[in-house]
Amino acid sequence: MAETSITITQPDDWHVHLRDGAMLEQVAGFTARQFGRAIIMPNLTPPVTTVAAAAAYRDRILAATSDYPEFKPLMTAYLTDSIAVDEIHRGFVEGVFTAAKLYPAGATTNSDAGVTDVKKIYPVLEAMQNIGMPLLVHGEVVSNEIDIFDREAVFIERIMQPLLNDMPELKVVFEHITTKDAAEFVAAEGDNIAATITVHHLQINRNDMLVGGIKPHLYCLPVAKRELHRQALRAAATSESGKFFLGTDTAPHAIGAKESACGCAGIFSAPHALENYVQVFEEENALDQFEAFASLNGPAFYGLPVNNKTITLEKQAQQVPVQIGEDDLAISPYRAGETLAWKLVTG
Ligand code: DOR
Ligand code: ZN
């Protein structure tokens, strides 16, 4: 008989964009309502490059999530060509930085200050390898001659593999993987390499974004790929491997910035993240693997305890609002207006 309810250890979200100011106030609760902890991306304007900036941002997040006092934001440093080894090292030792994020310069939203050549930050990466500090990687090359749909696969060959050859002990999370190539690469590497998988990359392929009219709210980076890649991601997420874990990459942008001649990349999936993930696991007949993916594999990789609460999801239809927020803060949530099969009932 089909399951009608599932109770698991409270999950964490290992990849979240919370923004700042009024947008932070508006979106943070959606993440804090469901998750025990979240890895907070540092691509603000200006980016979070110092221990002081991360500590101040953490305080703003805690203020914005005061309705959920147990929620713990885990802060990250934004790596630049000129970032000092000492700043990264000190931030990790002091417990402010949980990890550091590598954005290839120009790869995505607010990545202009990112890294132009990974060799330039080798001293920082060597220090991270020595202290066991995870490197979180946006794995796409930025060269103009590389097709956007090939940018992740080419990144593996040109950047990721050589980096791991040079630093075999570095802990690396290949963020938001979108290809069979990346899933196979991560599975074949040592235990120091893991990956996050978003819910949208498990649910949509590039046809969903482009057939029958362009859907700007399904545009994100890395962009959704062809169906065979989606299938490979579903197999990886539901496999018994401990290397794959939940990371929504929820990335709110105002509707006007998405529905534009040059629309921003990012999908605001936070509001019903767990309901959508559990749907995927149900469709794959893998509900027994859901807890490992959502709640156990991430803490094991980061060397953190699992959460001590549980959450329950029930088979209960609910409708996603068409819009969240008003005016400049209006956002279209992932699957806006659609009916979902599952509902988070406790947490
Ligand atoms: O789609 C995306 N949106 N991908 C990223 O890498 C960044 C994010 C954002 O910050 O909007
Ligand atoms: Zn992201």
- pLDDT reported for residue 124: 98
The catalytic residue among 117, 191, 249, 328 is 249
Total domains in the fold of the chain: 1
Residue 30's domain comprises 5-346
- pTM to 2 decimal places: 0.98
Query: For position 273, which CATH number holds?
Result: 3.20.20.140
Q: Let me know if 249 is a catalytic residue.
A: yes
- pLDDT reported for residue 107: 86
Encode pLDDT of 263-322 as tens digits: 999 999 999 999 999 999 999 999 999 999 999 999 999 999 999 999 999 999 999 999
pLDDT of 116 > 60? The answer is yes
Encode pLDDT of 219-266 as tens digits: 999 999 999 999 999 999 999 999 999 999 999 999 999 999 999 999
Ligand closest to 139 (CA) is 1
Ligand 1, residues 136, 221, 253: which to mutate, most atoms within 8 A of Cβ?
221
| Spatial distance between the Cα atoms of 124 and 81, rounded to a whole number of angstroms | 10
| Spatial distance between the Cα atoms of 253 and 137, rounded to a whole number of angstroms | 22
- Ligand 1 pocket residue status of 250, Cβ below 6 Å: no
Residue ID of nearest Cα to ligand 1 atom 10: 109
